[in-house]
A and B are shown apart, each in its own frame.
Chain A
Amino acid sequence: MDHAEISCLVSRSVADVAMVCLLSILPLSLMFEEWKTMKFAGFFLLFAGFFLAVAALVLLPGLGARIGFVLCALALEATGLTLAVRSHMAEALEVSR
């Protein structure tokens, strides 16, 4: 398996993880209030970041590609954390009143 094939495989895996995350959010949105759904969506993104980092480490051979993918994973986690924090802000206003 050459470098291009591996990169393609990793990209497809990331897309799959993102799709699973999005599909999982739909049933959750029916079960919980809006802010709770957002928090769970954030946690899915955090998990996705974890798997992306591990996948990059295992599948990619070069240092540059690995750093790139791990930085993407960090960005994904930052997005997830932002979603979770935004949902908390909505919740905090309700609880604190």
Chain B
Amino acid sequence: MSGSRPVQSRIQGWVWIAALVAAIAMPWVFYNYHTGRHSGFVVSMLSQMGMMTILALSYNMLLGQAGLFSLCHATFFGIGGYATIHFLTLAGDGSLPLPLELFPLLAGLSGLGLAIVFGYMATKQRATAFAMITLGIGELMTTAALMFHHFFGGEGGVNSNRMIGHSLLGFKYGAAIQVYYLIVGWTVISALAMLYLTRTPLGRMANASRDNFERVQFMGYDPRMVRFLQFALSGFFAGIGGGLYAITYEIVTFDALAAPLSANALLMAYIGGTSAFGGPILGAVLITLLQSGVSLMSNSWLVYVGALFISMVIFAPNGIMGLIAAHDPIVRGGRFGRLIVPYAKVLVPGIVMVLGFIGLVELASFLTIGAAQGKTLVLFGTRIDDHAPLPWLSAGLCLVGGGLWFGREARSFRRVWQGLMAELQPKRSLA
């Protein structure tokens, strides 16, 4: 076991580097060399992925690492955004002579400040009581954002201009692509800092108090202090994300601190996997893809996000990273090849089932929202009548039939899996 550890961490290192290279190269993959322009859609989606990565990672400092179920994480993201807009305005007036690259740091400090105040209240409690307090804080802040016009700008929000003419690197930050690379830079810095935090005494004691807060007390630590510090620091990073949001969009409304964004943070961290450090990054990328990509194609994209979330909670509570990690002993035992055929057997009915589900959702959606918008459902160039029984019947058949078939294959897959695990068992205990 100790022999394979360095190999594993080397692979992990390469995955990190590959992800970074992909993040840097991606805008150029979609670069239009005829017009000499970047794809605005791709750059803005990638920028969103960067901010959401920071948000999800900072949320996981609470949920995954400290076992704290917070419902107000967007508060600190949002306050970072609002503060940055005001800082930008100050800078535009010439009264804040700082380069733009450092503004996310100010945003982080704003997030930290607010997280210290709210964290002091919320971290008095843990578990359900903690979640309740954070729910209250989130609602309080949403209301405040609509009440205090001077700072939050009411429903219209506040706006400013990021071209303050001050830069460390000599950029003007007029073009979205320049802002994107600023986001990449801050995302890397924040992710590394949060990774570092997991390997410090505080980070470790946060894990410890997640597993067993009473034991922590009898080791000299005040679990409340551990919760408080972890909460404050996670607010700092969320604030950085919000700062980048403000720089990107140059406008911040109460959406940036309202409950749906807090729920998104939870969704991203959970779907990606809370027990691995990289899980929330994966979740942020995936959910952003769904949000920007699928939302263009379908009115009902939220249904798909919801279905994905529910199936993850039921079938893969450790998220995508948890699914990957479950394969670890099999890959190390060199038996992964034996899973390929069973996987293919599950995949086919799985696809049929999912297509059936999508068919029903889309038919329903075109029947209601689509009709109101005057749209018609067109598949492979043929117009499909959403009032006729045939499309409904075939979609329903795919869902039910595919589901039953999938269930059968899934059971035989489980048998293969358990057989492999049993084979590997004695080997592992010897090592």
Q: A and B bound?
A: no
Which A residues are within 8 Å of any B CB, using their own CB?
A: none
Which B residues are within 8 Å of any A CB, using their own CB?
A: none
